[in-house]
Amino acid sequence: MLDYQLMPKKCASLIQDADYVIAFTGAGISTAAGIPDFRSPQGIYTTRQFDPRTFDLQYFLKHPDAFYRFAQELIDILRSTQPTYTHQFLAQLESHHLINGIITQNIDALHQMAGTKNIIELHGSYYSASCIRCNVFRESNLDIDWWQDKIVHSPRSPVPICPRCDGVIKPGMVFFGEPVLDMEKARDWISRCDLMLVLGSSLNVYPAALIPQLADATIVVVNKGSVSLAPARDRYFVDSDVDVYFQQVAQYLGIDNIDSE
């Protein structure tokens, strides 16, 4: 049955009754933290704040300075952000053994900051990086503070250079033209789940957007705005701010120790 008005109480019941729950999250759960998305009316693509080629791998290899000018602004935002209510809610679900894992499109690491442990980052993370020439940081930990300070405090030449071989350092996020990460692991989780929560994603970015379509499970979509997922049996669609909606769901689950600020 298709229900465009899935009540929070019903959503709480679905979570409690499921055996294996996976959340699939997109940029919409982080916008309340001040992190810009790409495709909303205020998104990076829509407003043309940056050339879309900035996030293309081949363009980055030729013009890394274009991306790092964007990165200078992003780092300032990331350093001042905190997890949203929904990030904290999902972490609480995990600690209460009500969710088995999170598959995210986001690169901001806010799920980890909120305390979630079991995460697949399909598009990588902005908190890792490697040299495109010698891969030095793939085998050892990168000093993220050094890397970010280099970008922020070098306005004329923000491109960080590898101290070993003078190659350009590329962030661990997945650029257009690169394969998503851990897709096989994600498929394994999907094959097990009987409930999927799709939160804050318009499902317009492929191949990640295929994930809900691969699930033979009940799907609850909570997103502000339209979603590219066809109506079907056991698919519930809620057009709502995710934080507002899950504050109500949390009450029915008896989860009341979440900072709502």
DSSP 85-145: HHHHHHHHHHHTT---EEEE---S-HHHHHT--SEEETT--TT-EEETTT-HHHHS---HH
CB 250 within 8 A of CB 89: yes
The mean pLDDT value for 91-113 works out to: 95
Report if residue 149 sits inside a domain.
yes
Q: What domain range is 17 assigned to?
A: 1-34+84-123+180-256
Q: Which residue has the higher pLDDT, 127 or 105?
A: 105
The confidence score (pLDDT) of residue 150 equals 76
Burial (Cβ within 10 Å: 0-12, 13-18, ≥19) of residue 222: buried
Structure token pair of residue 161: 């250079």
Here the CATH number for the domain that contains residue 228 is: 3.40.50.1220
* One domain, residues 231 and 184: yes
Using a pLDDT cut of 70, give the percent of the chain over it. Answer: 86
Residue 114 domain-assigned (yes or no): yes
pTM comes to: 0.88
Q: In this predicted structure, what is the pLDDT of residue 250? A: 96
Domain boundary among 111, 142, 171: 171
Q: Is the pLDDT of residue 141 over 60?
A: no
pLDDT, position 50 = 59
Task: Report pLDDT for 239.
Answer: 92
Q: Are residues 26 and 134 in the same domain?
A: no
Average pLDDT estimate for 9-37: 91
Indicate whether 138 and 150 sit together in one domain.
yes
Catalytic residue among 63, 96, 97, 123: 123
Does residue 96 have an active-site annotation? no
Convert the pLDDT of each residue in 38-49 to its tens digit.
554 444 544 445
Question: Quick one: 235 and 138 in the same domain?
Answer: no
- Predicted pLDDT of residue 110: 93
Residue 261 lies in a domain: no
Write the burial class of residue 232 (CB in 10 Å: 0-12 exposed, 13-18 middle, 19+ buried).
exposed
Q: Is the pLDDT of residue 220 over 60?
A: yes
Q: Are 109 and 145 part of one and the same domain?
A: no
Residue that finishes a domain, picked among 171, 203, 235: 171
Same domain, 158 and 229: no
Whether 89 and 205 map to the same domain: the answer is yes
**How confident is residue 3, by pLDDT bands cut at 50, 70 and 90?**
very low
CATH number at residue 159: 3.30.1600.10
Same structural domain for residues 187 and 226? yes
Q: Let me know whether 90 and 147 are in one domain.
A: no
Same domain, 136 and 248: no
> Is residue 105 assigned to a domain?
yes
Domains held by the chain: number: 2
Domain boundary among 171, 195, 228: 171
